[in-house]
Structure 1
Amino acid sequence: MPPLPARVRVTRPLLPLAPALAKAAGQLLPEADLEQVQQAALAIAGGSVIGAALALPGGAEPLISVAAGWRGKGIEAALQAELDRAAP
C-alpha cells in the first residue's frame, strides 16, 4: 500500500461516534445509518475528517467515502485496511 500524504492519519474511533465525528461521517456517507455502525475508520487531515469507512450489520461491504480533493491518494485503501485489521 502506498504511503499516505504526510498530514493524513487513519484512526478507529470509539463507538458510538462522538457527535462531531458522526456529523462529519454523515456528510461523507449520508446513506449510512450511523446508529447501526459496528466498526468505523476515519481519515483525518488538519483536524478535519476527510474520509470515512463504516461497517454495518449483515456482512455487507463497508461504506467508504473520501472528500473529492483527497481521492486517489491511497486513503480509500488505508481506510479499508484499518477496518480489515479490526475485524474479528
Structure 2
Amino acid sequence: MTPPSGLPARVRVTTPPLPLAPALARAAARLCPEAPQEVTGAALAIAGGSVIGAALRWTGGGALGVDTGWRGRGIEEALGEALGNEG
C-alpha cells in the first residue's frame, strides 16, 4: 500500500495475510492487548523493521494502537484507512 503523503517517510502500512505470523501476532497483541487471537482483519504500521502500530478487527469489535513516540503523525489515520479498505 502506498503511504498517505502525511505519513513519515520511513513508515509503511501493510495488510498482512491472516492468520498473522507469530512475530506479527505478538507485536499486534502488545499494541492491542484487548484483541482476541483470532482476528478477521489487520493493518500494521512498520518502521525500521518493527511494528509500531496496529489496527485489528474481529467479530464484534476492533482496536487500534500506536507506540507512544509515533502517535499524532498520521499513523492512526493510515491504519484505519488500510483496515477499512481491506477485504
TM-score (norm. length: structure 1): 0.89
Gaps of 5+ in 1: none
Which structure: greater helix fraction?
Answer: 1
CA RMSD in angstroms, aligned pairs only: 1.2
Gaps of 5+ in 2: none
- What residue is the counterpart of 2:79 in the other structure? 79
Displacement of 1:3 in angstroms is 1.6
Displacement of 1:30 in angstroms is 1.0
- What residue is the counterpart of 1:9 in the other structure? 12
- What residue is the counterpart of 1:45 in the other structure? 47
Between the aligned partners of 1:11 and 1:49, the Cα distance in structure 2 is 10
1:26-66, CA deviations, whole angstroms, 9 ceiling, x for partnerless residues?
Answer: 1111111022x0000000000000000001113x3x31000
Aligned length in residues: 84
Instruction: Tell me whether 1:28 sits opposite 2:7 in the alignment.
Output: no
After TM superposition, where is structure 1 displaced by more than 6 Å over at least 4 residues in a row? none
TM-score (norm. length: structure 2): 0.90
